[in-house]
A and B are shown apart, each in its own frame.
Chain A
Amino acid sequence: MTTNSGFLLDQVTVTRGETRLLDAVSAHLPVGHCTAVVGPSGAGKSTLLRLLNRLDDPGSGQILLDGIPISDLDVLDLRRRVGLVAQQPVLLTDRVAGDLRLGQPTLGDHRMCELLERVGLPAGFAQRRTSELSGGEAQRVCLARALAVEPEVLLLDEPTSGLDGVSSGVIVEAARDHVAAGGTVVLVSHDLAVVRGIADTVLVLEHGHLIAHGHPDEIDYLEAGR
């Protein structure tokens, strides 16, 4: 691993109309780490996440992945390397199996069972109708769907928001496993207990500014939630 590994944000600014959603943010999100992005609502956390797989582009500044500007990478390839799980689970087909195969059409039954197991769901779940799932189950299927593509980086936008304890625990555990296997996780969360439990590095955003960046023990913002 070199110092260039992972995402490097260099003076990244995003503007919508008159509002600066992110203002000259520079940070390193190292590979093989879980980086949590915290801050009050409207701080620019989700905006930052959407930049990393190019659902949006910055107005100025640049973002590098392993030393290469992401704007120079093939965007479809980038999105397969950098998976995103949104806050609101959206299932896209009738059956769980259909969703899991959406990004990976050749996904075999055995691998599908493994993925479901990783998110704490039984193998038979693949044949369940997506319309019958609870919010927690749907979010876990969304995580498994993202993992099916085998991304290097997993972007999680409030993945435990509004979920029961079991589903939250499973998602945190899956994120931890991803990091343990050498992957990278970038987590946006209001749940400071989750952040303290999983993050190696924390970025604190406020009104689009990066106001703190460091190990969870060094971040005062996390103390407020204790």
Chain B
Amino acid sequence: MTGLAELGWGGVAASLVLVALAAAVACRQRLHLTRELIIASMRAGVQLIAVGALLLVIFAHAGLPGGFAWVVIMILVAGQVAGHRGTGLPRARIAATAGVATGSVVTLGALLALGVISAEARVVVPVGGMIVSGAMQAAGVALRRLCEDVQQARPAIEARLCLGLPAREAFLPHQRSALRTALLPAIDSTKVVGLISLPGAMTGLILAGVDPLTAIRYQIVVMYMLLAATALAALATARLAEHALFDHAHRLVPLPEPT
């Protein structure tokens, strides 16, 4: 007997009472969020059922190639989402997609090559999902910071170029600032993990009946892999954005006015 590990559809349906409770609070307090809350709950249920069914098919029939294909799709979607944060920067979506892909492929590849995780679709897909998600957030934050910096700091960047500095050096302080902004949340959450939050992977494993020491080992790997994915994705995104921001004559390209 492992408690919630045997959670059935009846249990899921019963948990709708909690949605009703939240909706009642929203309604009574006149937050004008009741409809949105119910739709979000329904949508989450439908999305997760669809994904669960798809994963069932992949795990049963498509095997490891299907798992990797799923990770590639996640990378492409994440690249589009993160790229949106850099609207106004040239080729932002390409930079973000390549950044997410770099962070994800290197991190997942290292975990597989080192034998930390087994090469099975049922492992590659959820672990890949966590990695891609972390990489997406880092790429999005890095792009948004670069976007804001470049629009405000054109005089400073051009002042460095006027001293004969190459584009990379002229841009370096802004790239560093974007990388710091992208990395700090991952470092902060790594610092306090277990102290002020029990992270998702560990919670899930404990709920599924795995003993806490095993769950902790997984969580340590998750935190480390997220640090790597975040750093690599932010760096690759920022470097690619830098290439798109300067032309062959080490000039900052014209950018649209911020809206």
Contact = CB atoms under 8 A, between A and B. Distances in A.
Does A pair with B?
yes
Interface of A: 53-57, 75-77, 79-80, 83-84, 86, 88, 90, 92, 102-103, 142, 145-146, 149
A103 B166 CA distance: 11
Contacts, number: 49
Interface string B142-173: 00000000000001101111111110000001
A146 B249 contact: no
Contacts of B173: 92
A55 B161 contact: yes
Nearest to B156: A90
7 smallest A-B Cβ distances: which pairs? A103-B163, A80-B164, A79-B164, A84-B162, A90-B159, A75-B249, A90-B155
Interface of B: 155-156, 158-166, 173, 249-251
B156 A149 contact: no
A102 B165 contact: yes
Contact of A88 (B155, B162, B165): B155
Given A54-B249, A75-B249, A142-B159, 11 more contacts: A53-B162, A75-B250, A86-B159, A92-B159, A92-B160, A92-B173, A102-B163, A103-B163, A103-B165, A145-B163, A146-B162
Contacts of B249: 54, 57, 75
A80 B160 CA distance: 11
B113 to A, nearest CB: 41
15 contacts: A54-B251, A76-B165, A76-B250, A79-B162, A80-B163, A80-B164, A90-B155, A90-B156, A90-B159, A92-B173, A142-B159, A145-B163, A146-B162, A146-B163, A149-B163
A70 B173 CA distance: 29
A82 to B, nearest CB: 9
Which of A53, A77, A80, A102 has the largest count of B CB atoms less than 10 A from its CB?
A102
B155 A86 contact: yes
Contacts of A80: 163-164
A79 B249 CA distance: 11
A22 to B, nearest CB: 17
B164 A76 contact: yes
A70 to B, nearest CB: 10
Which of B155, B159, B249 has the largest count of A CB atoms less than 10 A from its CB?
B159
Contact of A56 (B156, B165, B166, B251): B251
Contacts of A86: 155, 158-159, 162
A88 B162 CA distance: 14
A148 to B, nearest CB: 8
A25 B48 CA distance: 66
A149 B156 CA distance: 17
A141 to B, nearest CB: 11
A180 B58 CA distance: 79
B161 to A, nearest CB: 7
A53 B163 CA distance: 10
Contacts of A77: 164
Nearest to A155: B162
Contacts of A145: 163
Contact of A83 (B163, B166, B250, B251): B163
Contacts of A56: 251
